[in-house]
Structure 1
Amino acid sequence: MKWDELAEESCSMARTLSVIGDRWTLLILRDCFLGVRRFDAFQDRLGVTRGILSDRLKQLTEAGVLKKIAYQDRPPRHEYKLTAKGLDLYPVVLSIVHWGDRHMAGDAGRPVLHRHQSCGHLFDPVLSCSECGDPLRPQEVDVLPGPGRTDDRHLPVTARRSG
């Protein structure tokens, strides 16, 4: 699998990585969810070069994850807002943060906490079944061929066709 061909793979993970599978892209998305919208603010927070930042913002905009909106004409200035497609990445970003909180935070603890506005409680994200609501654990999930499957490379070994 070549990096520039991930978008063409029959694997949803590979296609997703073709959009967000870069460290700068994930950090840009983190900052978007924290309310950052302007180029200079991204650059100040991330310390990334202008060229890399410009490239990643362009990729996210072309992928429909961000929308580029002019806020000034002279000189031209834009801000970047999450689209509905971008907002759908929130569980992904929050899951990565939670993993980091559990395994990378160190003795000082979590760098940030998340509070649910509706109930006022601090929370940990939980992946649950959309049908029964039970938490999902890897050992309790079967991966089956779907209608968009074009080959067996991305199925578990036990689910692959014999012969």
Structure 2
Amino acid sequence: MRTAPCPVMRTVDLIGDKWTLLILRDAFDGLRRFSQFQRSLGIAKNILSDRLAALVASGIMRTEPASDGTSYHAYVLTEKGLELFDLIVTLRQWGERNAFESGEEYRTLIDETTGEPLARVTYVRPDGRPLRRDETRLGDFRPIE
């Protein structure tokens, strides 16, 4: 829906499918090959093929020759795709707080430098003060530069 003036709607149109989000999660976790995604997700090959093709067509991923010299290719996040990191982390952190029962185990995302779980994603003003939802509003339409 290219005519929708809502960035959320356009983003959901591109990546709002369950399988697409899980493919992105796996790509951020280092998976690159079709067979790796298929094994990790247990997804039907035709669905995986469709979702990967859509991610490539939208410029979120690109294909490149496999590093092992085989005729296979790898799926790699582009700069556009890498910009989705905050979204994937935010979804993960929301799930940690809201989708598990007390005592259930899950794997946390760890900062390789500190060895600690990532701090909760938050939004701050330029002066470093936290920004709350009730301190925002929808602005006027403006063109993308």
- Give the TM-score category using the shorter length: 0.7 to 0.9
Quote the residue 1:136 is aligned against: 131
Are 2:100 and 1:101 aligned? no
Alpha-carbon spacing, 1:134–1:117, altered in 2? closer, same or farther (3 Å): farther
Quote the residue 2:87 is aligned against: 92
Quote the residue 2:3 is aligned against: 8
The Cα shift of 1:129 comes to: 2.6
Alpha-carbon spacing, 1:130–1:87, altered in 2? closer, same or farther (3 Å): farther
Are 2:36 and 1:45 aligned? no
TM-score by length of 1: 0.79
Quote the residue 1:123 is aligned against: 118
* Greater CA drift, 92-101 or 112-121: 112-121
Quote the residue 1:156 is aligned against: none
The Cα shift of 1:144 comes to: 1.4
Unpaired stretches in structure 1, ≥5 consecutive residues? 150-163
Are 2:68 and 1:64 aligned? no
Percent identity of equivalent pairs: 34
**Which protein is bigger by CA-based radius of gyration?**
1
Instruction: Name the Cα RMSD after superposition.
Output: 2.0
Quote the residue 2:49 is aligned against: 54
The Cα shift of 1:146 comes to: 3.2
* Greater CA drift, 25-34 or 76-85: 76-85
The one-character-per-residue Cα deviations of 1:37-78 (angstroms, maximum 9, x if unpaired) are 00011011101111100000000001111111122776x311
Q: Secondary structure at the match of 1:128?
A: coil
CA–CA separation in structure 2 for the residues paired with 1:70 and 1:126: 34
Q: Secondary structure at the match of 1:117?
A: coil
Q: In the alignment, is the contact (CA less than 8 A) between 1:70 and 1:78 conserved in 2?
A: yes
Q: In the alignment, is the contact (CA less than 8 A) between 2:125 and 2:131 conserved in 1?
A: no
Runs of 4+ in 1 over 6 A off after TM superposition: none
Unpaired stretches in structure 2, ≥5 consecutive residues? none
Residue-pair matches, total = 143
**AA matched with 1:115:** I
